[in-house]
Amino acid sequence: MKKFEEKTLHSERLYEGKVINLKVDDVTLPNGKQSKRELIEHPGAVAVIALTEEKKIIMVEQYRKALERSLVEIPAGKLEPGEAPDYTAMRELEEETGYSADKLEKVISFSTSPGFADEVVHVFFASGLHRAENGAVTDDDEFVELLEVTVEEAEGLIRNERIYDAKTAYAVQWVKDYLSDKN
């Protein structure tokens, strides 16, 4: 038995969507009592730290309905069935920014909200950037604006809460460390 494991007694799927599924599990707790867990199932996602030769971070600004405002983020997207994370990362980089990369390296994977969701984000570093032949080709329901920002500008965006998500805040710190190691 895993430490503090909760055994599932019954699981009921309440919703199946394009991006997420919602289920409620009845569980037995480590102390023997029972409880309910509301859980979101998500196929996982990728995020791309793309750095230009001028040491600028490629970002996109887009509206996020859940927060009712626009955010500045690193390029990211949902894993499609059967796609490897590195393939999804390159696809999302090209679709959202119009850039392609000569090299893609895995940086880290992490859970976004383990208290209620199983989503894992795989973060990649893209280097050797060049404009893709087709340019940006966003989805029909996706509207983004391309930005290229320095680490200092990105830190200002964090302070002003225009960068407001964990993956992008992580990316800014990662680039700051990466560039300081290079100097």
- SS3 at position 134: coil
pLDDT at 141: 72
- SS3 at position 19: coil
pLDDT at 67: 97
End-to-end CA distance of the chain: 48
- SS3 at position 44: coil
Distance, in Å, from the CA atom of 3 to the CA atom of 1, rounded to the nearest integer, reads: 6
Could you list the pLDDT tens digit for every one of the 183 residues in the chain?
689 999 999 999 999 999 999 999 999 999 999 999 999 999 999 999 999 999 999 999 999 999 999 999 999 999 999 999 999 999 999 999 999 999 999 999 999 999 999 999 999 999 999 987 666 665 677 788 999 999 999 999 999 999 999 999 999 999 999 999 877
pLDDT at 134: 64
pLDDT at 182: 78
Q: Residue 42 class from Cβ within 10 Å (0-12 exposed, 13-18 middle, 19+ buried)?
A: middle
pLDDT at 10: 98
DSSP string spanning 102-125? Answer: EEEEEEEEEES-TTTB--EEEEEE
pTM more than 0.85: yes
pLDDT at 143: 82
Radius of gyration of the chain (CA): 19
